[in-house]
Every structure is written in C-alpha cells, then in structure tokens.
Amino acid sequence: MSLPERRFLRACRRQSVDRTPVWFMRQAGRYMEEYRALRKRYSILQLAKTPELACEVTLQPARAMPVDAGILFADILLPLEPMGARLRFAPAPVIDNPVRRAADVRRLKDFDVEEGLGCVFSAARLASRALAPRPLIGFAGAPFTLASYLIEGGPSKDFARTKTFMHEQPAAWDLLMRKLRRVTADYLAGQVRAGAQAVQLFDSWIGALSPSQYRRFVLPHSRFVLTAARKTGVPVIHFGTGTAGFLEDFASAGGDVIGVDWRVELSQAWRRVGARGIQGNLDPALLLAPRRELKKAVQDVLRQAAGRRGFIFNLGHGLLPQTPVSSVKAVVEWVHEYSR
C-alpha cells in the first residue's frame, strides 16, 4: 500500500503520515440514502446476518467519500444471541429475557464464535477484499456495555438496574463479565482472522459510572479483552463516551489508540493518557450546524491535535441519522486539506 492508503494504520502506530486520517463512527448507516433504501427491504438483523448485505453497507460510505478506513457493518449486540439472549429491534434493541439474577447469568451459554458468529466473519472477508487497499476496522461492544443491555433489557438513561446488580450481586456480576469478556476477545480475534486490519472496542455507556465503579467492576474485564486483542498484532482502539472523570483509568485498561469525546480537549487528553494515539473528537451535532461553523470546528480540532503523531480525526460518538451526507463529505475534505 502507498502512504495515503496506509495513513490510518500508520497513525494508529504513531508513525508519520502525509495528512491526518479520518473515518466516522456509524459511517455505515442510516444517514445515507443507500442504506435507508436497503432498510425498506431488510431488518437490521437481516442486514447484519447476511454477509453480502453487510459488506454492501460497509462499502457504501467508502464509495461516497475518501474516508481512510471502513468499519464493518454489524451490531454490537450480535454476540448476545448465541449466549441465549432473545434480541429484537422495536426500533431500539430489546432483550426479552433480561438478566436479573445469578441464575440468569449461569444460564448464559459459552459458544464457539466461528459457529455462532460466522456470518460476521464472512462479511469481514468480503468487505476486507472489496475495500482494499483501504483497511477494514472490526469492532465489538465492551463487556460493560453488553452487560448493561442484558440487565436493562435495552437502552437506559440512568442504568439503575445495572448499577444495582453490580452492588447487590457482585459475584454474579463478575461471572457475567468473565463470560462476556471471553466471548468478546474471541469475537475480535475472529474478525482479525477474517481480514480486519484494526479493531475497536466500544464502551458506549461507560460514562454512566463513577471512577471507583469503573475501577472495581469494569477495568479488569476491559483489560482482559484489550490485552487479548493486542496479541492479534493489529492496532486496537479503545473508545468510550463520558470518560473525562476517569480518563487515566480508562486508558490504563489498554489500547494503542484512545477514543475521546468532545467533553475533553485533545491537548488535555494527551497529557492524561501519555504516549498513545488519540481518536476524536468532534461533537456529532456540529455536522448539523451551518457550513462555516462546521469548518471552524474541524479546524479547531486539528489545531488542538497540533500535528502530533498518532492522531485520527473522528467524532466523539457516532453520526446522527439526520446528518447531511454533504456535511460528512466536507469534513473529510477539510481534514485532508488542512492537515497537509
């Protein structure tokens, strides 16, 4: 691969790049008309479980704009189904048999990821070949985020059930997290075998915890997954939202690159995480702003990055569904133009 084609992977390893690489969380998805057309015919689970369709959705943004990497289209909750969770979307994810007691944890199955998640690996093989020479990013939900969905039965604003479970049933919580971390580590390794050239661990809801809760109930399990992922030899990105209160602890769990959201300035983030790559951290809502304000925000992020090695431009969380595709394309062009 030429230098431009390798810039994302080089940045992950804190090597020199010709310009800042850029990709977006949720860059494959509902903000694109091509994706919405497919969703009129297929459910989310049908798209994610049909390799050819998942590959097509992965490629849609890569065809539309010069992003520096593609991220595999899937859903973070897919590993829960082979464990015994009854998952559906209505339209948000719903788990009809949530985990509420120790007995529910014990009933969760261990499974072989090649058998239970083979459709994802098939999609990764197709997408990695079709996306080349640009790299494919694989991903998984982190143990805490998966556990919160299992316990809450779906999304939550306060995570009251999850926090109560952690404190009232700590032994059952640790058993749940050990089961989830094994599955997650195997799942990421399977994606690498199938062609992913980097992986990202999403801890989307981790900001709901206090620093002490994170250290006691989550950090050892995230560290297990991230350590295992690093052994695959590909760069590992560790992403969470709302981590400003315990960013040092979050980074200590592992990851070659630490994702930060818009609540932390990049210069401060580097002081706190040390010699790591940083990914971030534009507020996704700013892509709905007037074009001149959006350009200023992009330039401000690049100014904060200050040309440091190991910077990957991204959002602080995923693209919002109402985001104009033209704004996404403009951000990619500006990042490449202003970071030469």
- The catalytic site residues sit at 26, 30, 39, 75, 149
SS (H, E, C) the chain: CCHHHHHHHHHHCCCCCCCCCECCCCCCCCCCHHHHHHHCCCCHHHHHHCHHHHHHHHHHHHHHCCCCCEECCCCCCHHHCCCCCCEEECCCEEECCCCCCHHHHHHCCCCCHHHHCHHHHHHHHHHHHHHCCCCEEEEEECHHHHHHHHHHCCCCCCCHHHHHHHHHCHHHHHHHHHHHHHHHHHHHHHHHHCCCCEEEEEECCHHHCCHHHHHHHCHHHHHHHHHHHHCCCCCEEEEECCCHHHHHHHHHCCCCEEECCCCCCHHHHHHHHCCCEEEEEECHHHHHCCHHHHHHHHHHHHHHHCCCCCEEEEECCCCCCCCCHHHHHHHHHHHHHHCC
